[in-house]
Each structure stands twice: as C-alpha cells, then as structure tokens.
Amino acid sequence: MNDMSIGLSYDDVLLLPKYSDVLSRAEVSLRMDLGADNVLTLGLPIFSSPMDTVTEESMSIAMSAAGGAGVVHRYNSIYRQVQIIKDCQPIDNVGAAVGVTGDYIERARAVVEAGANFICVDVAHGHHVLMKNALEELRKVMPDTHIMAGNVATLEGVNDLSDWGADSARCNIGGGSICSTRIQTGHGLPGLETIFRCSQTDRPISIIADGGIRNAGDMVKALAAGADAVMCGSLFSGTAETPGEIFEEENNTWKTYRGMASKEAQMDWKGGYSSFEGVSSRVPYRGHVDRILFDLDKNIRSGLSYSGARNIPEFQSVAEFIQQTSAGAVESAPHIKRRKW
C-alpha cells in the first residue's frame, strides 16, 4: 500500500486577501482560451453539465448569452441531440456529449455538422482503454474540433487524455451533489485536491473543475488552484431552463434533478440497471438561470480583485491558500443565532 497523503476540499481552505489596486469589478476579465490547437474561448469560464435534467436548448442559450457554454447531454437519439443543437443557433458556444462505444463517431459528426463547436467525451471513469480508443478515433475524423474528455482525478489521467487527443479535461471523480461513486466504489479524490494535482500537467490541455462546486467562492478557489474553467450541474438545477416539468408537492414547487448513473436515469435510458452510482432528487424551482449566472460573474470578479488580479492567469500566479479548521469553515458562513435580549 502506498503512503497516504491528505486530500483537501473546498471547505478546507481559504484564500489570503492581498493588496489590490483594482478599483472596480469591471476592470476584471474572466475570458479564458481553452486548449492549444483547437481553441475554445469563454467570456465566463463556466460550463453546464451534460445531464438530462440540466442541459438542452434553453440552458445552452442562456449559458452562451452569459459568456459560458452548455454541454447538451447524450441521453437521447442522435436526431434529438442534433435538433437541440440546431435549435440553439446562432450562439457563440455550445457543446454536445458523446460516449465511447456504439454510435459515438456518427453522433460526434452529426452534432458538429449541426453547429456544436466542441464535443465532450462523457464517461464516469475517463482514464480507461475505451476512452483511449474513442479519443484516438475521434481525433482522426475531426482534427480541428475542440474535444473535452473526462472524468479523471489524477495528473496521470490528464496527461494520458492529452496524449490521446483531448484539448480539455473534466477533473473530479464522485464529487457531485447527486453522485455516489465514492460511496459505492471507494474511489475518488476531494475536489480541490483533484485540481491541485491535475493542474500540474505540462501538456497543452485545459483543466475543468467538475463536481462539488456549490457557489462562487468554490469557483474562485478552483481557478486559484489551477482550473481554467468549471462545470456545474446542481448550481443550475431547478431553474426554468432545465429540462423537465415543474410540479407541486407539499405546498412547494419543484423540478427533478438526477445523476446519470442513478437507477431512475438508467431505467429511462436503458430500460434497466445493473448498478448505480448516483441518486435522483427533487429540488426547489428557482426561476430563470440568468440571475444565477449574473451573480456568479460578479462574485468571481470580486474574488479575483481580493487578490489584486485583473484576469485569471494573473490570479493564479498570486493566489495564496491557507488551510482552515472545521471551526473556521463554520465561521466562514453566516452563523447568527437567535438571542434573548
């Protein structure tokens, strides 16, 4: 057995405030160019996750309008995924997910022809021979398309994805709010530790922090740790732009949010399941996503300004972490208690 090291997650650290001469958040740019040869440019470095309760037409349009990008899920027919991509046009960025077996080549060609400007090779464990085979084949047939791949949780995984043909890597295993991979399999790595490790790559591949991100502060920490962008599902769940019906229960309004390895998702898309590494849940309906994206944009800009940085590369060069105790994590959140005066 190897010597064990400690893995840190977002609540385990804070960023030290630095001297700043940033006078306004408007001075801060969040633009990021992802990839080296097949560049994908984002004005807001946020992707919405390729889940069937997160990203279809409406979410993709809203994400692009805010400067980010949606990744349309692959749990549908090629025809339906193509229609979603077409219905999004014209927008700056929209991606489409594909798998690593079956129709993935045909699907990738079809969605790119329909207008997707990047594809996402989407599997739970991306450091795998099937991912290797898929990336090598996809790179042959679409040499000029930005290819995102994942998920992986190690530096070795990122390096291999790059060597196999990926331009960007989704990094994290089992950290999502409706993911149970770490419980079911015992494998994974805390979210921030994943980014610390994966961002040490010397390959021309961009790092996307995917899973476990709950707020703008987590995004700022992920960027400081070396991520070039983040991907979120639960942050956008329950909004008007997510697929699915609004329903009433217990005097409240809800929408469904589920992991794609949940029993419910597998039953819908496969007609059965053999094992599951996710759950299905209801979440409160939260209105339109543009307000959430607006707040994230402003708060991330503020986060960079606290370190005196005007862009993400500059921020990454000056950001300094400090570990905090569990008491510090409690203190970091609003914690007023009712008092008897």
Could you read off the pLDDT of 21-57 as tens digits, one per residue?
Answer: 999 999 999 999 999 888 999 999 999 999 999 999 9
What domains can be seen in the chain, in order of their start residue?
10-242+289-332 (3.20.20.70)
Strand pairing of 252-258 and 280-284?
antiparallel
The two counts, helices (H) then strands (E), for the chain are: 12, 15
HEC sequence for 322-333: EECCHHHHHHHC
Q: Which residue has the tokens 């790559």?
A: 201
Higher-confidence position of 245 and 111? 111
Q: What pLDDT sits at residue 205? A: 98
Strand pairing of 280-284 and 321-323?
unpaired
The DSSP code sequence of 171-192 is: E-SS-STTB-HHHHHS----HH
- Let me know: does 176 contact 211? Beta carbons within 8 Å: yes
Question: Looking at the predicted structure, is the pLDDT value of residue 276 above 70?
Answer: no
Question: Looking at the predicted structure, is the pLDDT value of residue 340 above 90?
Answer: no
- Let me know: does 95 contact 117? Beta carbons within 8 Å: yes
Question: Looking at the predicted structure, is the pLDDT value of residue 265 above 70?
Answer: no
Burial 36-46 (b: 16+ CB within 10 A, else e): eebebebbbbb
217: three-class secondary structure by DSSP: helix
The span from the CA of 326 to the CA of 51, in Å, is 32
The overall average pLDDT reported for the chain is 92
Q: What pLDDT sits at residue 179? A: 77
- Here the tokens at position 258 are 């589920």
Q: What pLDDT sits at residue 145? A: 97
Q: What pLDDT sits at residue 188? A: 87
- pTM, 2 dp: 0.93
Could you read off the pLDDT of 228-247 as tens digits, one per residue?
Answer: 999 999 999 999 999 988 98
Could you read off the pLDDT of 57-95 as tens digits, one per residue?
Answer: 999 999 999 999 999 999 999 999 999 999 999 999 999
Provide the edge-to-edge strand list for the sheet that holds 247-249: 247-249, 252-258, 280-284
Question: Looking at the predicted structure, is the pLDDT value of residue 266 above 90?
Answer: no
Higher-confidence position of 215 and 186? 215
The span from the CA of 338 to the CA of 341, in Å, is 9
Q: What pLDDT sits at residue 66? A: 98
Higher-confidence position of 53 and 340? 53
The span from the CA of 322 to the CA of 12, in Å, is 9
Q: What pLDDT sits at residue 129? A: 98
Question: Looking at the predicted structure, is the pLDDT value of residue 270 above 80?
Answer: no
The span from the CA of 122 to the CA of 245, in Å, is 25
Q: What pLDDT sits at residue 330? A: 86
For 190, phi then psi, to 5°, come to -55, 150
Q: What pLDDT sits at residue 155? A: 98
The span from the CA of 173 to the CA of 261, in Å, is 13
| Distance separating the N- and C-terminal Cα atoms of the chain | 57
Question: Looking at the predicted structure, is the pLDDT value of residue 323 above 80?
Answer: yes
State what percent of residues in the chain have pLDDT above 90.
76
